[in-house]
Structure 1
Amino acid sequence: MRMILSSFRMPQSKAIHCYMLMSLWILLIIVGIYKFLETKKSPQEPENILSTSYTNLAIDAKTKRIFKICNFPEEIVTGDEGAIRESKWILKGLLILIRHGDRGPLQHIKKISSINCGTENSQLLSSYKAYLQNQSLSGKISWVGQGPFHGFPYLPIHPSQCHLGQLTMQGVSQLLNLGNLLKQKYQEVWSKVKSLKSREVVIYSTKYRRTFQSVLAFLFGLIPVETLEKLVMHESQSMSFCFKDCGCPVTEKLYKNVKKSISHQLHSHPAVAALAVSTGNSLFSINGEPVTANTDPHFVRDALLTFVCHRNGFPCDGPINCIRRQNVVGIFAYTDWVNYQKWRNVYWKRYCLLKSYGLVRHIVQQMLQMVSNSGPYLVVYSGHDHTLEQLSTALGLQNDPFLLRYAARIVFEVYQQNEGIDNTQGIYFRLLSNGKDITRQVSFCKNIVNVSTKVNLCKIEDIVRFLHDDYFISLNVTNFKDACMR
């Protein structure tokens, strides 16, 4: 009987022992969580941590690439612009395509009012503000026609706030710095930049505040203010700067095929789709109400940039349900991969060829006018990431994720070879992406002149031949009209 009782007590005591250990373990977990939450709160924070919780993105090996997309004003630098200093090469002019600066998100996001979209008030920014204040009083800057530029403010209305799709003061500072840096670089080899006349400068901007305000800041840093005061701004009706070659119905079908491919890729990665939904639910809202329909990783990426580029913590729905580092890294890694796949998509290439035809044609016309000494000698297009993306694809360039960063730039430098006082020979151009010479990447450049290890030139006759003879070969037609009808 004692043996039976002892055998009965042994398992019972083990069960009690296990129960006590489990209770102690749970208690330790609760204490740990409490201590973790306690350290996250400051004495000034209210007790309701669910509505005020944020997580910050630290800079490490994987997130460093994400911060580079922001292109912070203090990180903008020049590269190989104006690198040809030999007297036999005469710089005739510049064609510059810029993306607008930092902007607010394209969709409503939670806690947007808590994000500071301002920037440090540098000496250059202060000078620009003072200049614009005088201009608003004197009204010296003129505009073409009765377009929307008439009513556009020169600066963001609320300097420290983020507004949907609107340029921020950080974006203004980016373009000011970029223009000023390019001026310093080019005036060493092209003295004309210091004395450009208004008739020698042509500016095009899409009909958005962010592109108009961006190019205005860029020009203030780049050219003399006396010239800026007399400039006429031209409005582009298209984000692609298609000019007279815009109507092309087949591009809609091509783009549908591209979107279909992207959608298929997302369906093939259910984990990414789930990540986009959960992250989007933590980001988006309309009138304060959460939105559950934002499943596109590219929309989520855009919203995340608003927090990352202003060094603001991400909103949390609770102490556990927060946007973590792995969420952000995963979304950006996937969207970068999708963009790389898109670059190889035949429909995307054909789409970009047709969308960029008008712009390529216009660029070639401007190049020829520069070397004929009729001008203009500075042409600036203020556009969007789509503008740069489509043009670079049409030119056969490699996929570059940093090409699409805020305040990105593509520069065409036009040169004439000078063999003597009265003897001019070939006409060439260089292509630079964010300061990097990428002339060798241009698909149609067959006559490359290697000036140095980082400096290459392509004959203008190559781009003329490409435009007139080879542009539509991949579409099995010979002209723009036929390409758009098939």
Structure 2
Amino acid sequence: MACFPGQAPEGFRLRAALLLVRHGDRGPLLPVRNLSGIDCGVPPVLPAGLRSVYAGYGRAASRAAAGWRARLEAVGGTGALLPADGRCRQGRLTPRGVLQLLRLGAALRPRYAPLLAGVAPQRLTVYYSPTERTLQSGAALAFALAGEKSLGGAVWQATRNVDLCVTQCSCPAARQLYTRAGLAVRRRQADHPAFGELVSRLGPLAVEQPPEAPPLRPAELWDALLASACHQAPLPCLGESCVSAADAGSLLVFRQWEARQPRSQELRSAARLRMRRFFEEAGRQLSRVTSGDRTAPLLTVWAGHDLTLSAALLALGVRALSAQFQPPYASRLAIEVYEPTPANPQRLWQFRLLYNGEDVTPLVPMCAGAPSGRLDLCPLQTLLDFTGPGYMAPFGGRSYEQVCVDTNL
């Protein structure tokens, strides 16, 4: 029987963990009408424990402000760890987004904080995409997991793109595959003219755009409506014409239908290429842990986006989860690494995969029939093989560099 997430399987101890998280609540990416009237601040009533964590983080952020200003400005930020006020700003993390990551960290702290007990603070590493909202989200999560010392003592590493790639990130073939997959999606949408008409009608009501701007894509329209939906605010209006709740419901129904459609081979291949460097670095770090490297990170946070999580799930082959059209704010994918205890005759290291707290290890194809002897665990070597040369097996075993310049995929 699979053990409850938060408990170590019998005969093993948790030795390291990797958390891939989506940033918290943010303002829409496009200029939405009536956005200034939406309150994205912290709710007035919070559980006492959570309010204390939020207040503590505010004080810690003020003390750390000088040391963080340059890091935040380097990713296009305002230089502050906390949003200035409760207004929704285009593409910016909101106070509620900060609260989501603090809540998540507080919930996970009993599980993962012991990994860092008695070790150097540098054994917590936080990677973030080159955006302010992921850096702010990573900081809030790290604070809630490991306390104020994490803001100054942890290793903070900017990556180059939303795929959380650190080096050698260019892959033209992945972009080409995504373009082809997008064309297939648009052809499928064209088979449903009523849906296209809905998007065309609602777009001008929801988003301020010049007349020459291209029509909104369904995902863009949905994102524009989320600020209202997530904050119990009126839907956008243009004059006397407003987006109705029925309109938003119809859009949601179609988006959910779209998410249930089979993922194309182009999309799966593109996701695998996009996440190559992420999994490569994850495998390298976990190998350092198992080899006894006393400087290896024991807790790693990768602060990314919904696209990052979706691509990682596709690359892992967890289709039941990758069918979600959008991982919610503050979603997380956790890789937990277990070392057998001395009394355990099973001497192989194991890992477990959790998505938003649910054990999904059995859903990963690489773990199907893996000889772990348990339903809730998978041999770590299986994951290390996946993150190593085996990762490129679907491409005929060619190297990542060779595949990325192949325009004939």
Confirm or deny a common fold (TM above 0.5): yes
Q: Gaps (5+ residues) in structure 1?
A: 1-78
Kept in 2, the 8 Å contact 1:340–1:399? The answer is no
Q: Helix, strand or coil: the match of 1:123?
A: helix
Aligned length: 393
Counterparts of 1:263 and 1:180 in 2: how far apart (Å)? Answer: 41
Q: Which residue number in structure 1 is paired with residue 185 of structure 2?
A: 262
Q: Which residue number in structure 1 is paired with residue 18 of structure 2?
A: 95
Q: Which residue number in structure 2 is paired with residue 134 of structure 1?
A: 63
What TM-score, normalized to structure 1? 0.75
Q: Which residue number in structure 2 is paired with residue 124 of structure 1?
A: 53
Matched, 1:364 2:283: yes
Counterparts of 1:302 and 1:126 in 2: how far apart (Å)? Answer: 30
Q: Which residue number in structure 1 is paired with residue 378 of structure 2?
A: 458
In structure 2, the CA distance between the partners of 1:460 and 1:144, relative to structure 1 (3 Å rule), is farther
Kept in 1, the 8 Å contact 2:19–2:301? The answer is yes
Match of 1:152 among 79, 82, 92: 79
In structure 2, the CA distance between the partners of 1:148 and 1:253, relative to structure 1 (3 Å rule), is closer
Match of 1:441 among 360, 363, 377: 363
Deviations 1:192-244, CA, capped at 9 Å, x for gaps: 34445222111111111100110111111000323432223111012112233
Q: How does 1:305-344 map to 2 (within 5 A)?
A: 305-317=226-238, 321-341=241-261, 344=263
Q: Helix, strand or coil: the match of 1:255?
A: helix
Counterparts of 1:324 and 1:149 in 2: how far apart (Å)? Answer: 35
Kept in 1, the 8 Å contact 2:280–2:388? The answer is no
Deviations 1:419-438, CA, capped at 9 Å, x for gaps: 439x8810111100000111
Deviations 1:358-379, CA, capped at 9 Å, x for gaps: 1111111111112223221011
Match of 2:297 among 372, 376, 400: 376
Q: Gaps (5+ residues) in structure 2?
A: 45-50
Counterparts of 1:325 and 1:448 in 2: how far apart (Å)? Answer: 51
Counterparts of 2:134 and 2:62 in 1: how far apart (Å)? Answer: 20
Q: Which residue number in structure 2 is paired with residue 171 of structure 1?
A: 97
Match of 1:84 among 2, 5, 8: 8
In structure 2, the CA distance between the partners of 1:281 and 1:146, relative to structure 1 (3 Å rule), is closer
Q: Which residue number in structure 2 is paired with residue 430 of structure 1?
A: 352
Q: Helix, strand or coil: the match of 1:91?
A: strand
How far has the Cα of 1:399 moved from its partner?
A: 3.8
Match of 1:297 among 218, 228, 232: 218
How far has the Cα of 1:143 moved from its partner?
A: 7.6
In structure 2, the CA distance between the partners of 1:80 and 1:102, relative to structure 1 (3 Å rule), is farther
Counterparts of 1:197 and 1:387 in 2: how far apart (Å)? Answer: 29
Counterparts of 1:192 and 1:127 in 2: how far apart (Å)? Answer: 22
How far has the Cα of 1:323 moved from its partner?
A: 2.1
Counterparts of 1:432 and 1:230 in 2: how far apart (Å)? Answer: 27
Counterparts of 1:350 and 1:473 in 2: how far apart (Å)? Answer: 11
- Amino acid of the residue matched to residue 127 of structure 1? G
CA RMSD across the alignment:
2.6
- Amino acid of the residue matched to residue 303 of structure 2? S
Report % sequence identity. Answer: 27
In structure 2, the CA distance between the partners of 1:231 and 1:84, relative to structure 1 (3 Å rule), is closer
Q: Which residue number in structure 1 is paired with residue 197 of structure 2?
A: 274
What TM-score, normalized to structure 2? 0.88
Q: Which residue number in structure 2 is paired with residue 184 of structure 1?
A: 110
Counterparts of 2:69 and 2:336 in 1: how far apart (Å)? Answer: 28
Counterparts of 2:195 and 2:314 in 1: how far apart (Å)? Answer: 26
How far has the Cα of 1:144 moved from its partner?
A: 7.6
Q: Which residue number in structure 2 is paired with residue 70 of structure 1?
A: none
Q: Which residue number in structure 1 is paired with residue 402 of structure 2?
A: 482
Counterparts of 1:378 and 1:271 in 2: how far apart (Å)? Answer: 48
How far has the Cα of 1:85 moved from its partner?
A: 4.8
